[in-house]
Amino acid sequence: AQKVTQAQTEISVVEKEDVTLDCVYETRDTTYYLFWYKQPPSGELVFLIRRNSFDEQNEISGRYSWNFQKSTSSFNFTITASQVVDSAVYFCALSDKAGKSTFGDGTTLTVKP
Amino acid sequence: DAGVIQSPRHEVTEMGQEVTLRCKPISGHDYLFWYRQTMMRGLELLIYFNNNVPIDDSGMPEDRFSAKMPNASFSTLKIQPSEPRDSAVYFCASSFWTGYGPLSGANVLTFGAGSRLTVL
């Protein structure tokens, strides 16, 4: 069975601070996919980033970056220079080859001006 | 493309009534997923389809829930009879599979805006 754990329930930062959201996953699959989604107060779910299990290269995309480490089964997500508009619930998700996605419980990020 | 379209956006009904939620996936997407979101249980996968065929319905709570996908552009999730504990936001999502390998774009879910169901 697949499992995603987001230990941080809520995080509060002041604008322009960097913030890292933690995600730990469990799977027996050798091929899998990891995602981060954002759910702003309006309620929709928006895709942010994706990583395949066979590619541990970490990247930066604008203010977003991620750290994927298979050895610790972690897929952490960092927002640099946070903004008020980043306030949302962030979900880490694990997908198997068939596309079935398991979501973590989410981390509520509040960015204060 | 208009994205994944769900209707109704809000539904308030009384216990025992039948509820039908609808979803139009993105054209060309061959996977369709139904998720339910509640405070207590988070985001739960109810069922998903591939090429209109139900693949995994192990998340469907009980026989009161049923889902169909009669064609590639339409799916329904039906609850009959509805109960107060069914109150939740129901999301439909669609995706496509681009294969394996370093350049694969695996199963990015595009979600609809959700249908907020309240059962009194």
Length of chain A: 113
d(CA A20, CA A65): 9
Q: Which pLDDT score is estimated for A54?
A: 81
B109: nearest CB among A31, A47, A55:
A47
What's B80's DSSP letter? S
pLDDT tens readout for residues B24-43: 999 989 899 999 999 999 99
Contact A106, A7 (CB under 8 A): no
Instruction: Please tell me whether residue A4 adopts helix, strand or coil conformation.
Output: strand
Hey, CA dihedral for B89, B92, B98, B99, is it positive or negative? positive
Is the CB of A107 inside 8 Å of chain B's CB atoms?
no
- Helix %, strand %, coil % of chain B (to 5): 0, 55, 45
Instruction: Please tell me whether residue B96 adopts helix, strand or coil conformation.
Output: coil
Block means of pLDDT (10 residues each) for chain A, 113 residues, are 94 97 94 92 91 79 90 95 97 86 96 96
d(CA B115, CA A79): 30
Residue with tokens 């979803």: B23
Are B42 and A103 a contacting pair at CB < 8 A? yes
In this prediction, residues B75-80 reach a mean pLDDT of 98
**Distance, C-alpha A39 to centroid of its chain:** 11
Residue type, B120: L
Nearest to A37 by CA among B111, B76, B28, B104: B111
Is the CB of A50 inside 8 Å of chain B's CB atoms?
yes
Query: Closest Cα of chain B to A99: distance in Å?
Result: 6
pLDDT tens readout for residues B50-75: 999 999 999 998 899 999 999 999 99
Is the CB of A90 inside 8 Å of chain B's CB atoms?
no
